Amino acid sequence: MKKKNSWKKILLIGFIVVWVGIAFYGFRQVGGGSSDLKTVTIGYQKADPIDIAKTRGELAKKMKTKGYKVVFKEFQDGSALLQALKAGSIDYARTGDTPPVTAQANGTKLTYVAAGTSKANGSGIVVGKSSGINSLSDLKGKRIAYTKNTSSEYLLRKALKKAGLSTSDVTMVNMDQSSASVAFSKGKVDAWATWDPYTAQAQVKQNAKLLISGKGLSNNRDFILSTSSYAKNNKEVSKYLIQYLQDDMQWAQTHHTKLVAMLSKSLKLSKTVVTKMVERRTYNITAMNSSITKEQQKIADLFYDEGVITKKIKVSDDVE
């Protein structure tokens, strides 16, 4: 009898071990253990498409079902993002139009993975309402804040050319956008080339007027970039990332009230500021095309002609 009971115990223990093994295997297959997930690190800036996707949370969930753990890292501008991309501390970077051009000229092997729609209405040059600056020609002799190697530099140079001015006719003050905001509010600069949400904040909170927007000067599109080697070896990651990011953009385009509430909380900005930003742009992510590539080439050509970059580049070489 004792021998029979002993065999029953052995069989029971064996059954439990097998059941636990099957259950654990099933969890790993369905839920995915964290050790199974491949980390994908994405760099972004405040209020950009990646920031929206991060805050909403759907992109990370969807990527996890495909075996990827998304890590988000915030940067203040595109120049810093491209430096991080080159250093390998991020796998993808969301920037405006200018950083990839200057990075390409500086030898960074990158790939344009996707592009967004124009943000021209929320980009521009702001001045004080009582500054006496009412036209671009009034900028002559003025101090203008901008951030080197970002969309604000290209827009400023294009605006000066439109007015028949050169960079020697003004004092271009290179500083990061947060510092520029402080300098502008204290009157240490006369004008400020910037982008949303800084533009909207200046208009709503800093008694600023938009002297000129980027319309007709710079579309300042969003671009999703990666290094050439990473893009080549991770086409599936890029495919899912763009697909799910576009899902978020479709949501953003059709849910402005929820988007404003979400961004107002995450950015710690008033709903008035965020509403102004949201209502003057379109949310969309698309594949690169010849028209967008030509836009980027114009930036490269202008920067080369004006000595911002010393190497003539062909943007289409880095389009996926």
User: Domain map of the chain by residue range?
Assistant: 34-117+221-267+282-318, 120-213
Residue 296 has pLDDT above 90, yes or no: yes
Terminal C-alpha separation, the chain: 74
Residue 30 has pLDDT above 50, yes or no: no
Q: How far is CA 192 from CA 120, 186, 187, 278, in A?
A: 15, 12, 11, 21
pLDDT band with cut points at 50, 70 and 90 for residue 10: low
Question: pLDDT averaged over the chain?
Answer: 90
Burial class (CB in 10 A: 0-12, 13-18, 19+), 291: exposed
Cβ(224)–Cβ(92) under 8 Å?
yes
pLDDT band with cut points at 50, 70 and 90 for residue 32: very low
CATH number belonging to domain 120-213: 3.40.190.10
Residue 21 has pLDDT above 60, yes or no: no
Sheet (strand 68-74) strand order: 68-74, 38-44, 92-95, 223-227, 110-116, 285-286
pLDDT band with cut points at 50, 70 and 90 for residue 9: low
pLDDT band with cut points at 50, 70 and 90 for residue 8: low
How many Cβ atoms sit within 10 Å of the Cβ of residue 108? 18
pLDDT per position as a tens digit, 61-116:
999 999 999 999 999 888 899 999 999 999 999 999 999 999 999 999 999 999 99
Q: Which pLDDT belongs to residue 233?
A: 97
Cβ(146)–Cβ(180) under 8 Å?
yes
Q: Which pLDDT belongs to residue 31?
A: 37
Write out the H or E segment, with its range, that includes residue 63: helix 58-65
Summarize the confidence of residues 212-227 as an average pLDDT.
Answer: 95
pLDDT band with cut points at 50, 70 and 90 for residue 211: very high
The answer for residues whose C-beta is within 8 angstroms of residue 58's C-beta and 6 or more apart is 244, 247, 248, 251
pLDDT band with cut points at 50, 70 and 90 for residue 52: very high
CATH class entry, domain 34-117+221-267+282-318: alpha beta
Summarize the confidence of residues 167-195 as an average pLDDT.
Answer: 97
Calculate the CA 189 to chain-centre distance.
26
- Residues 94, 236: Cα–Cα separation, whole Å: 18
Listed in sequence order, the DSSP H helices in 125-255 are 151-162, 177-185, 198-205, 228-233, 235-254
Cβ(222)–Cβ(120) under 8 Å?
no
pLDDT per position as a tens digit, 261-295:
999 998 999 999 999 999 999 999 998 999 999 99
Q: Which pLDDT belongs to residue 320?
A: 76
Q: Which pLDDT belongs to residue 99?
A: 92
Summarize the confidence of residues 133-137 as an average pLDDT.
Answer: 97
pLDDT band with cut points at 50, 70 and 90 for residue 41: very high
Residue 25 has pLDDT above 50, yes or no: no
